[in-house]
Amino acid sequence: MACDRKGHGMSNTPIDRIAAGTPQGVAKRVRGLSDRAIAWIFIAPTIFLLLAVNIFPLIWTIRLSFTNFRVNRPNRDVEWVGLRNYERILNDSDIWSTMQATAHFLFWTIAIQVLIGFTIAYLINKKFRGNDLWTTIIVFPMMLSPAVVGNFWTFLYQPQIGLFNYVVAFFTGADPASFSMIGDVHLAPWAIVIADTWMWTPFVMLICLAGLRSIPDSIYEAAECDRASKWRQFWTITIPMVLPFLMLAVLFRGIENFKMFDLVVQLTGGGPGNTTTLTSIDLKREAFEKWRTGYSSAYAVVLFVTVFGLASIYVKALNKVKER
């Protein structure tokens, strides 16, 4: 042991002990870089990169949001327009219809995914033989590139030749050429919900499964001794114990689907009309097709505030549930 070798026992920390008994050169090396210095050397590059690529652009966005700047007209004088961009956004009926499309998408994807995800997790937790293998297979879609997968879903949704239409027709007896999931105003919002559900239900399922597995058997055994029915056990033990996990899954899906871009833009491109124009798609059009840079910056800021606001309210609720 080092302490015995050095024969000093006076100081308190291991480093001091070594330093006190070691030759000058070694001591200098030990102390050469203090923990404090190392901490900063280790953290600084990360913080710097995040400031440069995230915070700096964010501040720039906020600044641009008060101007009428347009990227495609760099020579025009940039005017300071104050809060006008924000006023226009809050009064723009198109943006409200976009928000409605987003709300529809958010509500239904989360509701369906929670329902199916929890059910599948509950069934997997029955520990039938080979459940690990099937879990891994179920998880595949969520790891794949949404843009590439979304593009291929347009093929599955083709009238007549598409696999999706064929399967639906097979079970309902309808003509597979009679409906177009991505061409019909009423069906398109559901087309994106279905594709997103296919892709992300495994995510909710995995988190629920972790929740179910975290419940100790002893609680059920105790309930069994008290002659509580299975139904009662489910509602008074299983659901409350899984709830924090479920809420975490909803938080993640909520934030992700609020930002949703790749899958939907490839599937429907926001159409037909504006029926599937989610906020990110609308923002992309304003910023990179209409080049209204100032206006779209303000739009981006409004979205940030919405996400952060909703997320922090939600996290507070989540913590309350956890504390119970």
Partner 1 sequence: MSFSVTEPSSRTKWFAGTLVILYAIITIMPLLWIVATGFKSPSDAIAYPPKVVFEPTMEGYVNLFTERTRATPEMLEEAGPPETWYDEIVREKGMVISGESRYGQRFLNSVIIGFGSTALCMLLGTAAAYAFSRFRVPLKDDLLFFILSTRMMPPIAVSIPIFLMFRQIGLNDTHLGMILLYTAVNLSLSVWLLKGFIDEIPVEYEEAALIDGYTRMQAFTKVVLPQAATGIASTAIFCLIFAWNEYAFAVLLTSGTAQTAPPFIPTIIGVGGKDWPAVAAGATIFLVPVMVFTILLRKHLLRGITFGAVRK
Hey, which residues between 138 and 157 contact partner 1 (CB under 8 A)? Answer: 138-149, 151-153, 155-156
Cβ-contact 157, 214 below 8 angstroms: no
Q: Which of residues 177-206 bind partner 1 (CB under 8 A)?
A: 198, 202-203, 206
Residue 227, classified by CB atoms within 10 Å of its CB into exposed (0-12), middle (13-18) or buried (19+), is: exposed
Closer Cβ to partner 1, 54 or 236, answer by number: 54
Closer Cβ to partner 1, 54 or 100, answer by number: 54
Tokens of 80: 């300071």
Cβ-contact 189, 275 below 8 angstroms: yes
**Which region, left, alpha or beta, applies to residue 173 given φ > 0 means left and ψ of -120 to 50 means alpha?**
left
Stretch that binds partner 1, among 77-85, 99-107, 183-191, 248-256 (CB under 8 A): 248-256
Q: Is 239 in the site for partner 1 (CB under 8 A)?
A: no
| Gap between the Cα atoms of 15 and 288, Å rounded | 57
Stretch that binds partner 1, among 60-68, 90-98, 101-109, 179-187 (CB under 8 A): 60-68
| Virtual torsion, Cα 312, 316, 321, 322, nearest 10 deg | 90
Residues linked to residue 80 through DSSP beta bridges, in sequence order = 67
Q: For partner 1, which residue of 9, 11, 14, 185 counts as binding (CB under 8 A)?
A: 14
Q: Is 270 in the site for partner 1 (CB under 8 A)?
A: no
Stretch that binds partner 1, among 83-91, 95-103, 105-113, 210-218 (CB under 8 A): 210-218
Closer Cβ to partner 1, 275 or 293, answer by number: 293
Report CA-CA distances (Å) from 125 to 132, 239, 242: 10, 14, 13
Stretch that binds partner 1, among 76-84, 94-102, 178-186, 218-226 (CB under 8 A): 218-226
Q: Is 252 in the site for partner 1 (CB under 8 A)?
A: yes
**Omega within 30 of 0 (cis) for the link into 176:** no
| Gap between the Cα atoms of 186 and 106, Å rounded | 17
Q: Is 296 in the site for partner 1 (CB under 8 A)?
A: yes
Count the neighbouring beta carbons within 10 Å of the beta carbon of residue 167: 12
Cβ-contact 70, 294 below 8 angstroms: yes
Q: Is 11 in the site for partner 1 (CB under 8 A)?
A: no
Closer Cβ to partner 1, 108 or 166, answer by number: 166
Number of chain positions touching partner 1 (CB under 8 A) = 113
Q: Which of residues 77-116 bind partner 1 (CB under 8 A)?
A: 116
Q: Is 227 in the site for partner 1 (CB under 8 A)?
A: no
Nearest distance in Å: CB 83, partner 1: 19
Give me the 271-290 binding string for partner 1, x by CB under 8 A, dash otherwise: --------xx--xx--xx--
**Which region, left, alpha or beta, applies to residue 80 given φ > 0 means left and ψ of -120 to 50 means alpha?**
beta
Amino acid letter at 166?
Answer: Y
Q: Classify the C-alpha dihedral 143-147-148-149 as positive or negative.
A: positive
Q: Which of residues 15-34 bind partner 1 (CB under 8 A)?
A: 15, 17-18, 22, 26, 29-30, 32-33
Q: For partner 1, which residue of 95, 118, 258, 276 counts as binding (CB under 8 A)?
A: 258
Q: Is 236 in the site for partner 1 (CB under 8 A)?
A: no
Stretch that binds partner 1, among 88-96, 102-110, 132-140, 178-186 (CB under 8 A): 132-140
